[in-house]
């Protein structure tokens, strides 16, 4: 089945979809209201995920933009995922709403995660538990972050 993409002001590009391939979208949840952590808590999440990394017999793969949850360690050749199944991830952005804070804006569950009984809530709870945080009730007991100053200087001080 040909798919034609027409960029504004550019030439037509044709993509061809492969026969028999099924694209399954991941389930994702935009966290509303957004979950805000102090940068310190995020560093603890990343450090704990690093100690439980998929390359060290753990189920987590951490990066600067979030943490992926897998069903087990990577067991493929040369550090590839092998038979490990990606269950979901928690994604965040830094310095939002203010400097030294991190906003969790999305939690995602893959089809493999759904098949394993995971939900967006269970993925978020697993990741937050890495830092000793709870996803239940008043899950974060941090003071409210300061409001972003729209008049702050953009240049480094």
Instruction: Say whether pLDDT at 111 is over 70.
Output: yes
Residue 21 banded pLDDT, cuts 50, 70, 90: very low
DSSP per residue over the chain, as a string? -EEEE--TTS--EEEEPPTT----PPEEEEEEEEEEEEHHHHHHHHHHHHHTBGGGTSSEEEETTEEEEESS---SGGG--TT--EEEEEEEEES-SSTTEEEEEEEEE-HHHHHTT--HHHHHHHHHHTTT---SSS---PPPPPPP-TT---S--
Please state, rounded to an integer, the average pLDDT across all residues of the chain: 74
Question: According to the model, what pLDDT value does residue 131 have?
Answer: 86
Residue 103 banded pLDDT, cuts 50, 70, 90: confident
Tell me: the pLDDT tens digits for 63-100? 988 999 999 998 888 878 888 999 999 988 877 666 77
Tell me: the pLDDT tens digits for 28-42? 565 556 678 888 888
Residue 115 lies in a domain: yes
Residue 10 lies in a domain: no
Residue 1 lies in a domain: no
Question: According to the model, what pLDDT value does residue 27 have?
Answer: 57
- Per-residue pLDDT, averaged over 114-118, amounts to 91
pTM: 0.68
Give the count of domains, the chain. 1
CATH code of the domain covering residue 48: 3.30.310
Residue 142 banded pLDDT, cuts 50, 70, 90: very low
Residue 59 lies in a domain: yes
Question: According to the model, what pLDDT value does residue 147 have?
Answer: 57
Residue 72 lies in a domain: yes
| Domain span holding position 96 | 24-129
Residue 19 lies in a domain: no
């Amino acid at each position: 089945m040909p798919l034609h993409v027409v960029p504004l002001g550019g030439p037509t590009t044709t993509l061809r979809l492969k026969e028999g391939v099924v694209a399954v979208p991941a389930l994702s949840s935009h966290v509303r209201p957004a979950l805000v952590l102090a940068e310190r808590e995020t560093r603890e999440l990343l450090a704990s995920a690093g100690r439980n990394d998929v390359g060290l017999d753990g189920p987590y793969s951490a990066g600067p933009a979030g943490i992926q949850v897998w069903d087990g360690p990577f067991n493929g050749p040369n550090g590839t995922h092998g038979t490990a199944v990606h269950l979901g991830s928690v994604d965040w952005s830094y310095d939002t709403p203010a400097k030294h804070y991190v906003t969790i804006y999305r939690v995602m569950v893959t089809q493999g995660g759904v098949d394993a009984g995971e939900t967006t809530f269970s993925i978020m709870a697993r990741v937050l538990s890495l830092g000793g945080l709870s996803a239940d009730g008043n899950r974060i007991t941090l003071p409210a972050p300061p409001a972003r100053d729209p008049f702050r200087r953009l240049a480094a001080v």
